Chain A
Amino acid sequence: MKNQSIKNNIDWISVFIYTALVILGWLNIYSSSLLSTDGTYQKQLIFIGCTIPLIFIVLFVDGKFYEKYASIIFGVSLLSLAGLFLFGKTIAGQRCWYAIGSFTIQPSEFAKAATSLALAKYLSDTQINLKDVNRQVQALAIVFLPVLLILPQPDPGSALIYSIFIVVLYREGLPSWYVWTGFITIVLFVLTLVLEPYAVILIALGVLIIIHFKGRAVDRNIILSSILLAVISAFVLSVDYVFDNIFKQHHRDRFNILLGKTVDMKGIGYNTNQSEIAIGSGGWIGKGFLEGTQTKGGFVPEQHTDYIFTTVGEEWGFAGSMVVIALFVGLLLRVIYLAERQKTKFSRVYGYCVAGILFTHFFVNIAMVIGIFPTIGVPLPFFSYGGSGLWGFTILLFIFLKMDANKVNEW
């Protein structure tokens, strides 16, 4: 009977999009690794095969399990992250993996789901009002605990993903100035890199003056504005300082390439340049499956992992790229839609987390590949090569689909 109810109640649209993305992903991995001898696409096929029992386990676990054990799952996940510092395997300078024989597993890929569960649990457990500063701090602590463990691995890409939880918290009542602060921080950061810090401070001053005199008379508060300007100035100057003195050269290069300040096609600019060439040479309909010359030549580094979208762009062209982007957007909006219709706060928050995490991965990955975001290691969900990533995203998504299917039973 239970089987029957899952079959009837699961959101088949999401399942269909998920399946499509996984299949398309594998086809592109196949193409990009066809000429390599280390069995990349065969392994990915095994990883994909493993998701089937994984999905069944996730779906057939009791619906209340995730809510009940969210804290424990989160705790285990944190432990697994912390354990990396003792038992982790270092690959390419990053201590992100546990190695069991030749098989490696990356706990940070699973931590996202765990954090989502914990956050959902926390927000649903009590009648929490996020206007309360204490609650805000507690909620943010849940988010930043894993970030603190991930950043020193170092894995800034995975850490970056957690910033999307701000948007989730905002949905659940976090004051809007958090979002504004975040937004203004990003704008100021980018402006500081593009322009001289003093120019940015002058612009801020100008904007504040305009707001001051255009705004309603009652809102005019010269002291508050002055403080704001002081904070902005401090931020801008510190960004400038951090960028010039604390960032390593390769970090600076990543930004400079993006901003067009440096042109270095052989060194750090190589990745972005080659991926742009691969995608750009695709044209309207691409060169055809297995016909990508850039892909075959292996010009794009990490093509089967973080740069898998270049294969899509080269071999399937603009049309193929649009299909992939449309599938992702469709899935994300579908998940948000499903989240909004959840009966419990727990599953709604969790659904939002799923959408947020998938969205951040999707945007940061493709934006980096097409050269509008600094080079940062973030996989494309369901597409990129890698067992941990695929399983992490699958579990993340299907826990939510299980909750969604289960909502009928919660009456």
Chain B
Amino acid sequence: MRKVLLPSLIIIAASLLVMRVFYLQIIDDSFKLKSDNNAIKKQYDYPERGYIYDRYGKLLVANQASYDIMVIPREIKDDLNITEFCALLNITKEDYDKRIAKAKVYSPRLPSVFLPQLNKSEFAAFQEKIRKYEGFYFQKRSLRDYEVDYGANIFGSILQVNEKLIAKNPYYNSGDLIGRQGVEESYEEVLRGIKGVKYIQKDKYNREIGSYKEGKYDTIAVAGEDINLTIDAELQKYGEELMINKRGGIVAIEPKSGEILALVTAPSYDPGILVGRQRSKNYTLLYHDSIAKPLYDRGLLAEYPPGSPFKILTGLIGLQEQVINENTTFFCHNGFSYGRGRFMKCHSHAPNQQLHNGIYNSCNTYFAQTYMLTINKYADPAKAVDVWSDHVKSFGLGQFMGYDLPTGKRGNIPTSKTYKKIYPNGGWRSTTIVSNAIGQGEVLMTPIQLANMMATVANQGYYYTPHIIKKIEGKKIDAKFTTKHVTTVDQKYFPPVISGLFDVYNLGTARALRVEGIDICGKTGTAENFAKINGKRTQLKDHSIFVAFAPKDNPKIAIAIMIENGGFGAAVAGPIASLMIEKYLRKKITRNDLEIRVLNKSLVSEYAKLGGMTAASAIESTPKDSVMRAKMVKQPQVEVKKVRLDTTQEN
């Protein structure tokens, strides 16, 4: 027995060791991960983001070097001249103490950011002396550099990814930058390129001691690609300047290609303010301006009943459904009666209306009658509405259009379903829904949809999905932007409608907006709108809407303009259309009178009714172009300030 004890102990002890080692190495797999976290550091090599150019190759967005001042607190010398140091960096002594304390909390031995994102000029003075300050050094980063002070809504901006996004997309790591909104978002993957990874072996002090496995797993960064936008930078800039002191959107499209020439939203801001150190401060300001909403792209998002411009479609569908022809005549005496004693008002014009003068007079009666005939053509109004709805939708309306910008709205084109929901017991008929005829009722459209509708009319029955990408370095753009969409309305029905639109400028509502030598076809519109002011639903001044394309033959530009509370379509929106068209086609302006009128038209007092003037309004751009600024009469700033104070108190 005595001989057995030691061998038994050996066997038992060895078994214990084997079991424990088995548990550690095979069963519990948490150690692998802990080990990787411990010892391997991934170091990323960020490629430069692609540049953004306009359609003619003008550089809009480039990159700039930015410098983070880093600190290793333990290495700071005691005899550091803090006063001089702070003066160079333009910070206060308290600020210095706070930042050093923060760095120490992180680690006295590891580098942390002392002062982030200095620009070249801020850094220049410091750079010469940095060697004097032990413990401090700098790290170069790349930030966006905006060559222009407009187009903020088109570009979007760059920000650090948040936790949610990291969880969703494994490409991104904490601290990575990502494009947000605009083309920075929709072409994020093209612009950013692919970051490279280096695996670095670390030691227990977190020091790097060389590459992991001789760089077997390392990858090389792929540079971001440059893109050309379809935007005409000059037109975009001009549009934004015309929109100063107004709110609304302008969308201009090249009909033959669907290329977006300008996408203006107002108020807007200089994209440069969302770069670098001021970014978060400015973004917060813009973000919280919930009334002027400078971050809200009205060209893409503002859904309104389009009003009169929709009559174009009512007429075209009437022709296609053969319920009217060019010579069909309706009589209008400041309106007409329909249904059970209801009356639709119209403005005063000659009583007998045909398609041609119906359009340029914008006669409600004519199009309401046409619409009712269209609906009454079918025994079942549900069927009729669906036929009508399909026609309208073939113009790209009532749906997401599929353009390459990250935000959008469907708009609304009602179908039989819509009315079955509103009138579950049935009993609705053409007279019930006649408001649709004149672009009210259930119809909703965004400015880009209006512009696309005009492009389709200009093309006489087809459109290309609007898009903002012109060229990606060495690559073709998405095939969906080169696919023709044909309407259900035949081409032959377009010329009479276009002729009516042309005469809007000769005989109709836009007589005063003609530009000599350019045949413009257009249509005014207004959209009623309401707001809650002091808890009461109040009707505000109508939104001013205008759609147009030019030249009449071989159209080069189709445009839609929506001005919030701008009043009658020809008042503000119309002049802007004329100016934009001339600017695009001629590169210069002959209607200086219109330009001065528009530049000096301020709707600020109108918007003040909404309590809208907040601190953010101050960053809304004013023309930086001295020529344009000279044309502007100084706005009565006092009034604005007073209103701002009042609303602050109310709120």
Contacts and interface: CB of A to CB of B under 8 A. Distances in A.
The answer on A and B forming one complex is yes
Name the prevailing secondary structure of the B interface residues: helix
A291 B213 contact: yes
A328 B38 CA distance: 31
A179 interface: yes
A172 B3 CA distance: 9
B32 A283 contact: yes
Contact of A322 (B7, B10, B18, B39): B18
29 contacts: A171-B2, A173-B2, A276-B24, A277-B34, A277-B38, A279-B31, A280-B25, A281-B32, A281-B35, A281-B36, A283-B25, A293-B39, A296-B203, A299-B39, A299-B203, A313-B21, A317-B25, A321-B21, A322-B21, A325-B17, A325-B18, A328-B14, A332-B10, A333-B10, A352-B6, A356-B6, A363-B13, A363-B17, A370-B21
B26 A284 contact: yes
A278 interface: yes
Contact of B24 (A280, A284, A299): A280
A318 B38 contact: no
A293 B10 contact: no
B16 A280 contact: no
Contacts of A173: 2
Contacts of A297: 38-39, 201-204, 209
Contact of A299 (B20, B38, B212, B213): B38
A282 interface: yes
A145 B35 CA distance: 45
Chain B CB within 10 Å, residue with most, of A294, A328, A340: A294
Interface in B62-77: none
A337 to B, nearest CB: 9
Given A279-B24, A293-B39, A363-B14, 11 more contacts: A35-B203, A277-B34, A277-B38, A280-B35, A282-B25, A296-B209, A314-B35, A333-B10, A352-B6, A355-B6, A367-B17
A313 B24 contact: yes
A171 B1 CA distance: 9
B25 A318 contact: yes
B5 interface: yes
A170 interface: yes
Contacts of A352: 6
Contact of B40 (A171, A172, A293, A328): A293
Contacts of B25: 279-280, 282-284, 313, 317-318, 321
A80 B28 CA distance: 47
Chain A CB within 10 Å, residue with most, of B10, B25, B26: B25
Contact of B30 (A280, A322, A328, A356): A280
Contacts of B7: 333, 336
B9 interface: yes
B343 interface: no
A280 B10 contact: no
A280 B31 contact: yes
B213 A277 contact: no
B203 A276 contact: no
A329 interface: yes
A23 interface: no
Interface string B190-210: 000000000001111000010
B479 interface: no
Shortest Cβ-Cβ A-B pairs, 4 listed: A280-B31, A281-B35, A293-B39, A297-B39
A366 interface: yes
Nearest to B206: A297
A329 B36 contact: no
A296 B202 CA distance: 8
Contact of B201 (A293, A333, A363): A293
Nearest to B12: A363
Interface in A319-371: 321-322, 325, 328-329, 332-333, 336, 340, 352, 355-356, 359, 363, 366-367, 370-371
A167 B9 CA distance: 10
Interface of A: 35, 167-168, 170-173, 179, 274, 276-284, 291, 293-294, 296-299, 313-314, 317-318, 321-322, 325, 328-329, 332-333, 336, 340, 352, 355-356, 359, 363, 366-367, 370-372
Nearest to A300: B204
Given A278-B35, A359-B9, A283 B17 contact: no
B20 A336 contact: no
Contacts of B31: 276-277, 279-281
A95 B36 CA distance: 38
Interface of B: 2-3, 5-7, 9-11, 13-14, 16-18, 20-22, 24-26, 28, 30-32, 34-36, 38-40, 201-204, 209, 212-213
Contacts of B10: 329, 332-333, 336, 355, 359
A277 B35 contact: yes
A372 B39 contact: no
B41 to A, nearest CB: 10
Nearest to A366: B17
Contact of A170 (B5, B11, B24, B212): B5
B2 A170 contact: yes
Given A279-B31, A293-B212, A329 B11 contact: yes
Nearest to A291: B213
Contacts of A167: 5-6, 9
Contacts of B24: 276, 279-280, 313, 370
Contacts of B26: 283-284, 318
Contacts of A171: 2-3, 5-6
A294 B213 contact: no
A48 to B, nearest CB: 25
Nearest to B14: A329
Contact of A281 (B9, B34, B213): B34
A173 B31 CA distance: 47
A35 B22 CA distance: 29
Nearest to A285: B25
A356 to B, nearest CB: 6
Contacts of B9: 167, 359
A181 B425 CA distance: 96
A356 B26 CA distance: 30
A35 B40 CA distance: 16
A294 B39 contact: yes
A370 B20 contact: yes
Contacts of B34: 277, 280-281
B3 to A, nearest CB: 6
A57 B197 CA distance: 57
Contacts of A366: 17
B39 to A, nearest CB: 4
A296 B204 contact: no
B197 to A, nearest CB: 16
A363 B14 CA distance: 7
Contact of A280 (B3, B18, B28, B213): B28
B14 to A, nearest CB: 5
A331 B22 CA distance: 22
Nearest to A287: B35
Contacts of A340: 3
Contact of B35 (A172, A293, A367, A370): A293
Contacts of A35: 203, 209
Contacts of B201: 293, 296-297
A298 B7 CA distance: 36
Chain B CB within 10 Å, residue with most, of A277, A314, A363, A372: A277
Contact of A179 (B5, B18, B36, B39): B5
A313 B28 CA distance: 14
B49 to A, nearest CB: 33
Contacts of A296: 39, 201, 203, 209
B53 to A, nearest CB: 46
Contacts of A313: 21, 24-25
A371 B40 CA distance: 24
Contacts of A179: 5
A308 B25 CA distance: 16
A172 B14 CA distance: 24
A116 B402 CA distance: 89
A175 to B, nearest CB: 11
